[in-house]
Structure 1
Amino acid sequence: MLAQSLQQKAGIEGKLRVYTSGLSQNLEGDWYISRQPTEKLSNLREKLITAMQIFLVRMESGSALLSEVEASNDIVSDDVLNLFEIEQGNLKSFYDMLTRQKADFTAICNHYHDDKLMEAYTDTTGMAKALFDMLEKMRWLIEEHNIDCGPRYEGTPLRTEEEIYRFLGVSNENK
């Protein structure tokens, strides 16, 4: 029974670690656009589409992981929660970088009459925002799950005024 619980926890922890790793490396590289030949624009469009597809897969797998976390009675480590925050920061940086370039994307698309690039840009920024929001939702659900699975404290009823003051750590001399 204990071995099964440890295996399940390692499985959830491992899956969450894998889920939160690797996203950043796909966001590196040259995302800046310039007035270059259409081949470079085509490559940029393909890169945007690939990023969008990765975001979509991560959203789908994230939904499945949430179900596994909710079905578990194990607490997810703070290390894993920190990985979510790091990935959110990286995703936000990527999104901010793309949105700062919106005017450039629009100008290039108008100059080269390339509607597909603008569509890829719009879809990718939208998907990046959706994934960021999902990571936030996952992080909060995991934190709530940890509280629900954590130890329960029954507490002690406070019966007298003095017990209340003692509990609050204040003096009752100033009544």
Structure 2
Amino acid sequence: MNLASIALLSVAMSTDAFAAAVSKGAALDKPHWREALRTGAIFGSIEAATPVIGWLLGAAASDYVRVWDHWIAFTLLGVLGAKMIWEGLKHDDDREPPVSRHGFLTLALTGLATSIDAMAVGVGLAFLDESIGPIALSIGFTTFVAVTLGVMLGRALGSAIGKRAEVLGGLLLIGIGSAILYEHLTVLPA
């Protein structure tokens, strides 16, 4: 993967966490930078770890599916992208009363739920024999920044922007999957 693809993948992986962070920020009485940084660190750490776990699982199976790797990556990214778009377009009227701080377990579970797609991406990257370290670090750092900003923006902007970000992330995932498929289908045999 080139730097542009890694950057786009990192942004796509962080958008669902950003959307969750906006809603978490909107639920806070008065979000402070301390709480935003804490939330960003929790989400970013989880988002960096899950593609590594997925990559390890995918690497164990990669010899068996190397012929189909580009189709698997295309399908996984396409399905995840479509799911993100679907979630971004759903209406969410369940508002909780404002709180001063979210509990660690609540944030960790939310972070894990928003990082399942990153685990699936890790599986796909193992099939493509990509080095996961720099990609996982990029995803984790991008998520940390996005979530920190999302919490601070949440109170002011509400959940509308979070949903739009999730739709954009889904479109980016579908685009990356399509580019992977195109790249592998257009390579001329040696």
Same-fold status (TM-score > 0.5): no
TM-score, normalised to structure 2, is 0.26
Q: Which has the higher contact order (CA 8 A, sep 6+)?
A: 2
Larger of the two Rg values belongs to structure: 1
